[in-house]
Chain A
Amino acid sequence: MDMISDLKRAVCEGDEIKAVDISEKALQEGVEARELMDKGAVAGIQEAGRLWQEEEYFLPDIILATEAYKEAMTVIEPRLAREDLSFKGKVIIGSVEGDAHDIGKNIVISLLRCNSYEVVDLGVDVSLQDFVDKARELEPDVLGMGAYMTTTMRGMEVVIHSLEEAGLRGKVKVIIGGAAVTKDYANDIGADGYGDNAAETVGLVDGLMGVS
């Protein structure tokens, strides 16, 4: 239990070196991967999320915590049994073409993953056609787009239009976020959801998926 608590603390404090080290040692010593994930890594990132929502943590704190969570999971995930990997749904997410910003996107990804979503990170500067192609190929439940610059956000409506043309719009919920966009813009372009900040995204996706 000590190593599990240590992992929780390392993730919450954003220490990815410790998080990896503890994860490796714990698995070597026979700690169950599922327990290590749930009570260590996931509990750590959830605690960080709680502190962030309560404004005890600043954005850099939650960023480092999500990085530590991500690193710990690269060690733990290969050891999980198939039945441990049950997901509420699949999300693909990326920053739109011309936009290399990924701070918010990375937080969203970690928070979704630790809330049992399978997330495919398309990266930054994702071509508008790639969003459509990946939606067709991966058949996600939700497609997320981030835009952080006023000069790039218009790509989002192009993607939604292209999804419609490709006959995919009815099969995937589209959510958008990022510093440049607003709820009004989301409504205007026909997105299904808008997240004002990364912390809102889990609730938003849960709502769209009809799960709690």
Chain B
Amino acid sequence: MGNLKLQASSMLKLNKALLYSRGLHIGHLDGFERLIAGIYGTPDRVPIITQPYTYAMGLHGLSGKQFFSRPELFINASYNMAIYFGIDFWVPVFDFYNIELDALGQRLIWRDRSEPDVDSSHPLINSEEDLRRLKPPVAGKSGRMPYVLESYKRYIDLMGVPPMGYACSPFTMAVLVRGYVNFLRDMRRNPSFAHRLMEFLSMEVVTPWIDKIAEVTKSSIVVMADAWASQPNMTVEMVREFCLPYIEKIIRATNSPLRTVLDTGSWGERSVKNARDVLDIKMDMMVPGNNLKALRPFFLLVWNEDYEELGIPLFRSYAEEKKVCLMLNIRPNLIEEGPPQRITDTVRKVIKEGAGKGRFNLLINLVPIGTPVEHVHAAVAAAKQFGVYPIDEDLVHATFRSPDLIPFDEWVKKEGLPVG
């Protein structure tokens, strides 16, 4: 799809979704439009987002090497998973913590049935000298960056909209190239080195990579994933001193009126005395940069471990106070274990307490390999039945109708894309 056509089509969809979210309904929403409407206001029903990831890999019997290095297999398998389950919007999620590291020369461990992992016994930067010697990647060309860009192009061709782009946050990257304990020591004993490392990763690795992703995809959202900026692994003070200033720097360097860059994926509200300390950090990870503040797709992503312990109402009221979209996932192991009744009851509860009058998204992610497809179908069907706005006030008593199922292999033969 040509860039101009892609941009024009995306803008039309964005505008339609924005109008819908504010009560002006022009036709039905497709999945992408539902997502956007759900971020800014009230869609027709709760948007369901998924990261197909290794579950899609497992459904197709692919190895980690095949899935995470061959764009056609990765995109086609992810597409099949998302479309088979009737998901509204899927994100082509590769092992996004590794791409820049791989490009820098960090050794990875490859496994058959999971994503590659950083070899933490051989951190890339063992000394200050190592940092001085390290050359930044050539954005788009080093390591598996071409795999990512090619995958994004295929996604655009399939879906007709830009993907949500993914990069690794410099803070998480710093932990991965130094090793967790080493980076803790850096922050405590040698903060100037820790800052130099953060500066290098932010401005010479992440920023050019985000620019390249945006240039190729025209994505309106690029996410930096930041699992290590979480509690209790880091303290609030560490994140404020060593993470947030660089996030802001990257956002200011890469944002544009049509592109929002933000940092997300961290967790740990349950691990601190005052959950707001972590929630406030999450808001600061989405500083406006040079974008129009009113149009920023702010969302507050809260993981099941935290909301299960602290309760959804706390997060719902914080999101409403900050006027941001709340995004909650469903516990992956619940989907794996089932039974479907337990899954649908959980989805019902999450929607009842989280969906409010809009500004809500439901995320299905990290579904373990081998999870019965009936369980995923149950989660999706429950979200579609219970998530219709306005949310039924008597949702507790609403009956659930099991969806009709076609076995995955049969569906792929009829309607899926070829894989392998």
A153, B233: Cα distance in complex, Å:
20
Q: Could you tell me if A150 and B332 are in contact, using CB atoms closer than 8 angstroms?
A: yes
Q: Which among A55, A59, A60, A100 is the interface contact of B273 at CB below 8 angstroms?
A: A55
**CB of B54 closer than 8 Å to a CB of A:** yes
Q: Which of A53-108 contact B (CB under 8 A)?
A: 55, 58-60, 63-64, 67, 98, 100, 102-103
**A contact residues around B185 at 8 Å (CB):** 64
- In the assembled complex, the CB of A158 is this many whole angstroms from the nearest CB of chain B, namely 12
**CB of A125 closer than 8 Å to a CB of B:** yes
Which stretch in B111-119, B152-160, B165-173 binds the other chain? B111-119
Select from chain B the residue with minimum beta-carbon distance to A151: B368
Q: Could you tell me if A100 and B120 are in contact, using CB atoms closer than 8 angstroms?
A: yes
Q: Say what secondary structure dominates the interface of chain A.
A: loop
Q: Could you tell me if B235 and A58 are in contact, using CB atoms closer than 8 angstroms?
A: yes
Interface string of A142-181 (1 = CB under 8 A from B): 0000000011111000000000000000000000000110
A100, B273: Cα distance in complex, Å:
28
**A contact residues around B120 at 8 Å (CB):** 100, 102, 124
Q: Could you tell me if A63 and B118 are in contact, using CB atoms closer than 8 angstroms?
A: no
Q: Which among B119, B273, B305, B369 is the interface contact of A151 at CB below 8 angstroms?
A: B369
Q: Could you tell me if A59 and B233 are in contact, using CB atoms closer than 8 angstroms?
A: yes
**B contact residues around A154 at 8 Å (CB):** 368, 370
Q: Could you tell me if A103 and B180 are in contact, using CB atoms closer than 8 angstroms?
A: yes
**CB of B402 closer than 8 Å to a CB of A:** no
Q: Which of A12-69 contact B (CB under 8 A)?
A: 14, 55, 58-60, 63-64, 67
**A contact residues around B26 at 8 Å (CB):** none
A124, B119: Cα distance in complex, Å:
10
Q: Could you tell me if A98 and B188 are in contact, using CB atoms closer than 8 angstroms?
A: no
A153, B273: Cα distance in complex, Å:
28
**A contact residues around B234 at 8 Å (CB):** 60
Q: Could you tell me if B109 and A100 are in contact, using CB atoms closer than 8 angstroms?
A: yes
A150, B262: Cα distance in complex, Å:
26
Q: Could you tell me if B232 and A150 are in contact, using CB atoms closer than 8 angstroms?
A: no
Q: Could you tell me if B368 and A150 are in contact, using CB atoms closer than 8 angstroms?
A: yes
Select from chain B the residue with minimum beta-carbon distance to A185: B333
With contacts A98-B111, A100-B117, A100-B118 known, is A60 near B235, CB below 8 A?
yes
Q: Which of B337-367 contact A (CB under 8 A)?
A: 366
A58, A98, A152 — most chain B CB neighbours (10 Å):
A58
Select from chain B the residue with minimum beta-carbon distance to A124: B120
By size class, the interface of chain A is 20 to 34
Tally the A-B contacts, defined by beta carbons under 8 Å.
Answer: 52
**CB of B281 closer than 8 Å to a CB of A:** no
Interface string of B102-124 (1 = CB under 8 A from A): 00000001010110011110000
Q: Could you tell me if B366 and A151 are in contact, using CB atoms closer than 8 angstroms?
A: yes
**CB of B238 closer than 8 Å to a CB of A:** yes
**B contact residues around A152 at 8 Å (CB):** 114
**A contact residues around B119 at 8 Å (CB):** 100
- In the assembled complex, the CB of B240 is this many whole angstroms from the nearest CB of chain A, namely 14
Select from chain A the residue with minimum beta-carbon distance to B365: A150
A60, B184: Cα distance in complex, Å:
7
Q: Which of B299-339 contact A (CB under 8 A)?
A: 305, 332-333, 336
**A contact residues around B233 at 8 Å (CB):** 59-60, 103
Q: Could you tell me if B366 and A150 are in contact, using CB atoms closer than 8 angstroms?
A: yes
Q: Which of B161-208 contact A (CB under 8 A)?
A: 180-181, 184-185, 188
- In the assembled complex, the CB of A39 is this many whole angstroms from the nearest CB of chain B, namely 25
Q: Could you tell me if A153 and B333 are in contact, using CB atoms closer than 8 angstroms?
A: yes
A58, B184: Cα distance in complex, Å:
12
Q: Could you tell me if B333 and A180 are in contact, using CB atoms closer than 8 angstroms?
A: yes
- In the assembled complex, the CB of B382 is this many whole angstroms from the nearest CB of chain A, namely 20
Select from chain B the residue with minimum beta-carbon distance to A188: B337
**B contact residues around A60 at 8 Å (CB):** 184, 233-235, 238
Q: Could you tell me if A64 and B333 are in contact, using CB atoms closer than 8 angstroms?
A: no
**A contact residues around B336 at 8 Å (CB):** 150
A153, B334: Cα distance in complex, Å:
13
Q: Could you tell me if A125 and B109 are in contact, using CB atoms closer than 8 angstroms?
A: yes
**A contact residues around B366 at 8 Å (CB):** 150-151
Interface string of A107-146 (1 = CB under 8 A from B): 0000000000000000011000000000000000000000
A59, A125, A150, A151 — most chain B CB neighbours (10 Å):
A151
**B contact residues around A125 at 8 Å (CB):** 109, 117
Q: Could you tell me if A150 and B184 are in contact, using CB atoms closer than 8 angstroms?
A: no
With contacts A98-B111, A151-B54, A179-B305 known, is A59 near B368, CB below 8 A?
no
Interface string of A178-204 (1 = CB under 8 A from B): 011000010000000000000000000
A82, B273: Cα distance in complex, Å:
45
- In the assembled complex, the CB of B232 is this many whole angstroms from the nearest CB of chain A, namely 4
- In the assembled complex, the CB of A20 is this many whole angstroms from the nearest CB of chain B, namely 14
A167, B114: Cα distance in complex, Å:
30
A97, B205: Cα distance in complex, Å:
31
Q: Which of B70-84 contact A (CB under 8 A)?
A: none
- In the assembled complex, the CB of B84 is this many whole angstroms from the nearest CB of chain A, namely 20
**A contact residues around B232 at 8 Å (CB):** 58-59
A185, B368: Cα distance in complex, Å:
15
Q: Which 3 A-B pairs have the closest CB atoms?
A: A59-B232, A150-B332, A58-B235
What would 10 A/B residue contacts be, using CB atoms closer than 8 Å? A55-B273, A60-B184, A60-B234, A64-B185, A98-B117, A103-B233, A150-B332, A151-B369, A179-B305, A180-B333
Binding site for B on A (CB under 8 A): 14, 55, 58-60, 63-64, 67, 98, 100, 102-103, 124-125, 150-154, 179-180, 185
- 6 additional A-B pairs beyond A63-B181, A151-B114, A154-B368, beta carbons within 8 Å, are A58-B235, A60-B235, A67-B181, A98-B111, A100-B117, A100-B120
